[in-house]
Amino acid sequence: MPKSSQLSKAAKIASTTAKEPARAGRQAVALASEAAPLSFDTLCIQGGYAPKFGEPRILPIVQSTTYKYDDIDHVNRIMTLQEFGHKYSRTSNPTVAGFEARINQLEGGAGAVATASGQAATLLAVAAVARAGDHILASSMLYGGSFTLFNSTLKKFGVSASFFEPDAPSREIEKLFRPETRVLFGETIGNPGLAILDFARLSALARAHGVPFIVDNTLATPYLCQPFKLGANIVVHSATKYIDGHATSIGGVVIDGGNFDWTNGLFPEFTEPDPTYNGVIYAQKFPQSPFIFKARAQFLRDFGGCLNPMNAFLFNLGLETLHLRMPRHGDNALALARFLATHPRVAWVNYPGLDAKEKRRIARYFRRKNASGILTFGIEGASAGNLDPIRRFVKKLKVAALVVHIGDARTSVLHPASSTHAQLNAAQLDAAGIPQDMIRVSVGLEDIADLIADFDQALRP
Ligand SMILES: *Cc1c(COP(=O)(O)O)cnc(C)c1O
């Protein structure tokens, strides 16, 4: 059950853009405060959208780029951020707003902006904070796309990055902070090492340096972990994975915790006038969540990486079963990991639910004893010079399939060294923690007996 503080926060949901989602959010919570507070599971199904008499029970797909107005003064008030309303679907749309309001409630945030992909969410979050000359400090246990965004592409725009081993001693991480550092970035469950972020330590480091702690919560989802309660300031998701849950749509979302002081002197972009909106000062105009307003008004407008209504509808539908799917993903992954750990053809298994240190972190930081659905393992005898055991295993699978994706209902496998990380040489693979014999498994929702039988027959010589 959400604590009352979480509910009052949800009640204060800053209207991220349009009147509709804000009103819907308030109604959902008003309903909650009259009776018992709504639990996480109920918010998965009813959060973010509260239809009135005669309106569709299901969040409608508003497949429209445009919105009609009667007078130019009204449009002017919207365009100059004096009033909220949909004007053009690049910056807001009622269906997208419904999805944003629901995921915002599930994370316990102060506002959300949905994006065209998870990559677009990470870019939006970072670009709204750091500008040319600034520096990003990020965990080395990162999704490959985030690593190349920080390490290569953003550098071309004058934003530099350094990376820390997330379990390195704090004094080592301290040394990497620079006067121009503006972001501390990590993943709740790191990729590909599957280490759980030490929230207490890293959020304290971010606080001490006056920079926002941005957390990619894709692999955990708010069902397992709510980073704002653990000191994170901004959460990003690839909605493509467990939020969708069925491998139908690409999308992402950025959520603002509303718990960071942008007026601490390091962020003039929030405290100085924005000439592109008649000199609005975000920290003054939107004190509850200046970050999310700036992200939408400035960067969604200019970068254009918005989510489309159809995908927002599908993500919203996906969220309606998140609380049912995540326990099964975790149970299946734990059972498969245990089976693989005893298999004679398996060299090693990595699953946070099997590791003593990671289990302590799950107990400390997660809502549930559940380590999500991703595991990795090594096949006996496979090496850089001999990938035949990998080839044979993948070919023989019948239930699981070779797929460059994670987080959906179907079980998927991938050989990272020859696919997502094929550009890396042997030394780089080593540094990234990707052995040549590694198979990554996204464990789906099938009957675990069928999955174990499938892996067993595929591993046999
Ligand atoms: C997939 C993924 C991303 C990127 O998301 P896309 O929707 O593919 O752009 C970012 N972070 C993590 C942890 C991911 O798994």
Q: Mean per-residue pLDDT for 148-163?
A: 97
Pocket test for ligand 1, best of 214, 218, 372, 408 (most atoms within 8 A of CB): 218
Among 303, 319, 335, the domain boundary falls at 319
pLDDT tens sequence across 215-224: 999 999 999 9
**Distance, CA 345 to ligand 1 centroid (Å)?**
31
CA–centroid distance, 142 to ligand 1, in Å, is: 10
CB 166 within 8 A of CB 202: yes
Nearest-atom number in ligand 1 for the CA of 119 is 9
Tens of pLDDT, residue by residue over 308-324, are 999 999 999 999 999 99
How many domains does the chain divide into? 2
- 216 and 85 in one domain? yes
Binding site membership of 240 for ligand 1 (Cβ less than 6 Å): yes
Q: Are residues 290 and 429 in the same domain?
A: no
**Is the pLDDT at 15 greater than 60, yes or no?**
no
Enclosing domain of residue 232: 3-129+212-319
Structure tokens at 400: 């699981």
15 lines ligand 1 (CB under 6 A): no
Do both 447 and 333 map to the same domain? Answer: yes
Residue 375 Cα to ligand 1 midpoint, Å, equals 16
Ligand 1: centre distance to CA 119 (Å): 6
Tell the residue nearest (CA) to atom 8 of ligand 1.
118
- The mean pLDDT value for 98-107 works out to 98
Tell how strand 213-216 and strand 181-187 pair up: parallel
How many whole angstroms from 359 Cα to the centroid of ligand 1?
A: 24
Flag whether 329 is in a domain: yes
Which residues share a beta bridge with 234? Answer: 214, 256
pLDDT at 457 over 50: yes
User: Could you tell me if 347 and 314 lie in one domain?
Assistant: no
Burial 260-296 (b: 16+ CB within 10 A, else e): bebeeebbebbbeebeebeebebbeebeebbbbbbbb
Q: Among residues 299, 319, 339, which one ends one of the domains?
A: 319
Same domain membership, residue 97 and residue 63? yes
User: pLDDT tens, 254-280?
Assistant: 999 999 999 999 999 999 999 999 899
